[in-house]
Amino acid sequence: MPESTRRNADRAQRILVEIEVETNSTGEALAVLRAIKPDNRTAPPWLRIREELDGPRIRISVEALAKDPHRLGSVKNTVDEILEFLYSLLKSIEETAKTLKQATRERGMGVGL
In this prediction, residue 4 carries a pLDDT of: 59
**Average pLDDT of every residue of the chain:** 83
CA dihedral 23, 26, 30, 36 (to 10 degrees): 20
For 86-109, what is the mean pLDDT?
86
Pick the CATH number of 3-108 from 3.90.1720.10, 3.30.310.50, 3.30.70.20, 3.20.20.80: 3.30.310.50
In this prediction, residue 100 carries a pLDDT of: 87
d(CA 7, CA 2): 9
d(CA 99, CA 91): 12
pLDDT above 70 for 110 = no
pLDDT above 50 for 46 = yes
In this prediction, residue 9 carries a pLDDT of: 53
In this prediction, residue 12 carries a pLDDT of: 52
